[in-house]
Amino acid sequence: MEVIKLKNKYVGLLVIAIAVLVLFMILSYDIALTKISDSSCLHGATCPMSIAVRTQRNISLGLVSFLMIIGLYILFFFREKETHKETIRIPYEKLDDEEKKIVDLIKAYDNNMYQSDIVKEMGLSKVKVSRILDKLEGKKIIERRRRGMTNVVILK
């Protein structure tokens, strides 16, 4: 199932568009009721039917105004929460050759990779790769997360 994320700007515009659509529906309904009221009521503006039509019109326009205000508020005053993930600059000058190769390998695989795949790609023993990853984790360059029988290694 794919989740659709709407930006606040689009939500605000959507609410305003719905309010405009409702406004047109209310106006057409009001025109029809006013014609019926005028043709069937002989008392004019004091007719109960005319009073009911005016009351209904005022309530409807109030609701549409409320929708418009909400839409404008969302459009102009709701701000997206910006998340800035701090990117750590990798100090290549402080890494030895094997550490550099592993970091470059993980970068080539979209910044995350199974530890078992690193062992296969590097041609080193599991122990050697684990020790190198321990050093990189200590330098806060990578993070390891347990996944089943292996770890996922993620560049920070």
Q: Final residue of a domain: which of 29, 53, 77?
A: 77
Domain boundaries, position 150: 92-155
Q: Find out whether 50 and 37 touch, Cβ atoms under 8 Å.
A: yes
If you average pLDDT over each of 37-41, 77-81, 84-88, 134-138, which comes out highest?
A: 134-138
Do 14 and 49 fall into the same domain?
Answer: yes
Q: State the total domains in the chain.
A: 2
Residue 3 maps to a domain: no
Which pLDDT does position 1 carry in this prediction?
43
Residue 87 counted as domain residue? no
85 in any annotated domain: no
Is the pTM of the predicted complex or chain greater than 0.95? no
For 15-56, how does the pLDDT look when each residue is reduced to its tens digit (9 = 90+)?
999 999 999 999 999 999 888 888 887 777 778 888 888 899
The answer to whether residue 72 is domain-embedded is yes
In terms of domains, do 99 and 55 share one? no
**Same domain, yes or no: 18 and 63:** yes
- Please state, in angstroms and rounded to a whole number, the distance separating the CA atoms of residues 13 and 71: 6
**Phi, psi (degrees; rounded to nearest 5) at 33:** -65, -40
Q: How far apart are CA 115 and CA 102, in angstroms?
A: 10
Rounded Cα distance, 118 and 122, in Å: 6
Residue 73 sits in the same domain as residue 105: no
Identify the CATH number of the domain in which residue 149 sits: 1.10.10.10
